[in-house]
Every structure is written in structure tokens, then in C-alpha cells.
Structure 1
Amino acid sequence: MGIGVSVFLLAVGGVLAFAVTDRLSGVDLTVVGYVLMGAGAIGIVVALMLANQSRRSTHTTVQERRDLRD
């Protein structure tokens, strides 16, 4: 899950938690909104940690050369 999807989940969760006042039988939209916001926050943290980890890693290229003299 990338940063864009995480921000989308935060936005949808915020709308469901704070702006929607409709009622569905058996579904609490406020709780669904909070769950989506939590998933979006966790997704952002994980995406940033993975991006930071790949930035700190170094890559080494090894080239082997052989002289073929008879």
C-alpha cells in the first residue's frame, strides 16, 4: 500500500467518521471511519519506513576481469 492509497483511506475514513450522519442497520459508520483512518495512518508509517530503508542501503557492483594470455 503506497502513500497515495493511505491518504485516500485517511480521507474516506475522516468523511465517514465526522461528516456522515446517516444510519445503516447493523453498521456504525463512525467506527468504520476510525478503522479506515487507522489503516491509512499505519500505511503511511510503513510506506515511509520502507522508503527510508531503501534510501539508506548501498549497492556495490563487482566486476571480474580476466586476462587471457597464452
Structure 2
Amino acid sequence: MTIAGSIILIMLGAILTWAVEFDLAGLDINIVGVVLMLGGVAGLLFGLYRISLTRRAVGPIDEPVHRHEVYEEPDTRRTTVYEERRRVDEPPL
């Protein structure tokens, strides 16, 4: 579950808990909202934990990076000039 999915679950649970006044036989909408919010919080914590593990696993680089600046003369470019010539009696395009 991604972090965005977890936030969507939390928002949906909050809407069902506090904003919906609807009754179904044998189903409490408020409890469904609380369960969705708890699932969203658990998914959010797991997603953040997984991101922190990924960032820690990369670690620092032991060898320094040597960069050499190389400058080469660019090749001379050819430019082509196109001319359009029309006679006076030709209709415009």
C-alpha cells in the first residue's frame, strides 16, 4: 500500500465516521469508518518504515569520485540557407 493510498483510506474512514448519517441493518457505518482509518494509519506507518529502510540501505560511498573536466573544440557546423523564389503571376500558398 502506498502512502497516498493510506491517506485516502484515512480520509474515507473519517468521512464515514463523522459525516455520514446512514443506517444499515446489521452494519454500523461508524465502525467501518474507524476500521478504515486504522488500516490507513497502519499502511502509512508501514510505508514510511519501508522508505526509511530503503534510504538507509544505500549508505555512503567509500571511494571519492574524481571528476576531470575535458573541453573539446566543437565541430564546425554547416548552415544551409533556403531561399523561396516565386514569380509574380503564381498564386500564394
Q: Which runs of 5+ in 1 are unaligned?
A: 61-70
**1:19 — aligned with what?**
19
Structure 2 length-normalised TM: 0.62
| Partner Cα distance (2:15, 2:2) in 1 | 20
Deviations 1:15-58 (A, max 9, x none): 00000011111110000000000000000000000000000013
**1:7 — aligned with what?**
7
Q: Looking at secondary structure, tell me which structure has more helix per residue.
A: 1
Kindly report the root-mean-square deviation, in angstroms, between the aligned alpha carbons of the 2 structures: 1.3
Aligned residues: 60
Name segments (4+ residues, structure 1) moved above 6 Å. none
**2:37 — aligned with what?**
37
Q: Which runs of 5+ in 2 are unaligned?
A: 62-93
Larger relative contact order (Cα-Cα within 8 Å, sequence gap ≥ 6): 1
**Identity over aligned pairs, percent:** 35
- Opposite residue 36 of structure 2, the aligned amino acid is L
